[in-house]
Amino acid sequence: MLRIAVVDDEKVMLDRLEEYLTQYGHLHEVQFEIRKFHFPELFLADYKPVYDMVLMDIDMPGMNGLEAARRMRTLDENVILLFVTNLAQYALHGYEVDATDFVVKPLSYSKFEYKMTRAIKHLPRKERPYLLLKTEQGTASVGLDSVKYVEVQGHNIFYHTTQGAYRIRGSLKQTMEELNDPQFFLCNKCYLVNLAYVTAVNGNSVIADGETIEVSRPKKKALMDALAAYHNRK
Note the pTM of the prediction, 2 decimals. 0.59
Q: Determine the pLDDT at residue 51.
A: 93
User: What are the C-alpha distances in Å from 165 to residues 67, 76, 128, 136, 213?
Assistant: 47, 40, 21, 13, 16
Cα 103 from Cα 101, distance rounded (Å): 7
Cα 5 from Cα 55, distance rounded (Å): 6
- Residue pLDDT, tens place only, 132-150: 788 887 777 787 888 999 9
Cα 27 from Cα 90, distance rounded (Å): 31
- Residue pLDDT, tens place only, 72-84: 999 999 899 999 8
Q: How many residues does the chain have?
A: 234
CATH of the domain spanning 2-126, picked from 3.40.50.2300, 3.40.50.20, 3.90.550.10, 3.50.50.60: 3.40.50.2300
Pick the more confident residue, 181 or 197: 197
**Domain limits, the chain:** 2-126, 146-233
106 prior amide bond cis, ω within 30? yes
User: What are residue 188's DSSP bridge partners?
Assistant: 191
pLDDT at 125 over 80: no
Span 159-163, mean pLDDT? 90
Which class does domain 146-233 fall in? mainly beta
**What percent of the chain shows pLDDT beyond 70?**
93
Q: With residue 44 as reference, give the H or E element that holds it.
A: helix 40-44
- Residue pLDDT, tens place only, 164-176: 899 999 988 888 8
pLDDT at 89 over 70: no
Torsion angle of alpha carbons 102, 106, 109, 114, nearest 10°?
A: -30
Span 28-46, mean pLDDT? 90
